Amino acid sequence: MIVEQPQNRNGEQSMKSLVVEDDPICSRVLKSILSRFGDCAVANDGSQAVDAFANSLEDKRPYDLICMDIMMPEMNGHEALSEIRRLEEIQGIDRPEGVKVIMTTCLDGDNDKQQAFRSGCNAYMIKPIQRESLKKQVQSLGLILD
C-alpha cells in the first residue's frame, strides 16, 4: 500500500517545519505529528529558533512552519517571533509569503493571545495539542493539502 505524503503550499512533497519547545515531551509529540509531513527540526528555546531560522534563510530553504511555545528560557516565544519577522523584513519577505507560525502554549489569556498576534503569529493553539487539530490548523494555513 502506498500512502501519499501531503503536499506543501509550494506543491512540493514535504513541508519543512521547526518545533520550538523547552519541554522534551511536548517537543517529541509535536515532532512526531509534523514529521509525517516532511522534515522537522527542534529548537529548545527562542534563541536557538532564531538561529535556526536565520540559517534556513541563508541556505535558501526557509521553514514553512514554526510551532513555538511562549514560555521558554533565554528568549521567549514573543521575542523570538518578533526577531524572526524582523529577519524576514530584512530579506524582503512580505508577511503573506513568510513562515507560518503557530503559537503552541498553555497560556489561554486574552492578553497572551493578543501579544502573540501582534508579534506576528498566524495561529494560536492551547496545549495539549491533538494530532487532528494540528493537522487541520496546518491545512487551514495552506501548508499541506489533504
In angstroms, rounded to a whole number, what is the distance separating the alpha carbons of residues 28 and 83?
25
Does residue 8 form part of some domain?
Answer: no
Q: List, in sequence order, every residue forming a beta bridge with 105; answer none if it has no partner.
A: 126
Bridge partners (DSSP) of residue 125 are 104
Residue 146 included in any domain: no
Q: Looking at residues 74-79, what average pLDDT do you find?
A: 94
pTM of the model: 0.90
In a domain, 76, yes or no: yes
Residue 3: inside a domain: no
Residue 108 lies in a domain: yes
Residue 12 lies in a domain: no
What is the Cα–Cα distance from 15 to 72, expressed in whole angstroms?
25
> What is the SS3 assignment for 102?
strand
- Residue 64 is which amino acid? D
**Which stretch of 4-18, 40-54, 70-84, 125-139 has the lowest confidence by average pLDDT?**
4-18
- Axis crossing angle, helix 77-90 with helix 46-58, rounded to the nearest 10: 20
DSSP assignment of 65-79: EEEE-SS-SSS-HHH
- The total domain count for the chain is 1
**Residue 22: phi, psi to the nearest 5?**
-90, -10
Residue 60 domain-assigned (yes or no): yes
Spell out where 83-135 has E strands. Answer: 100-105, 123-126
Residue 11's closest CA among 64, 88, 66? 64
Q: For residue 81, what pLDDT is reported?
A: 97
* pLDDT above 70 (res 138): yes
Report the CATH number that the domain containing residue 47 is assigned in CATH. Answer: 3.40.50.2300
Chain centre distance of CA 112: 17
> Does residue 100 fall inside a structural domain?
yes
Domain that holds residue 98: 17-136
Q: What percent of the chain has pLDDT over 70?
A: 90
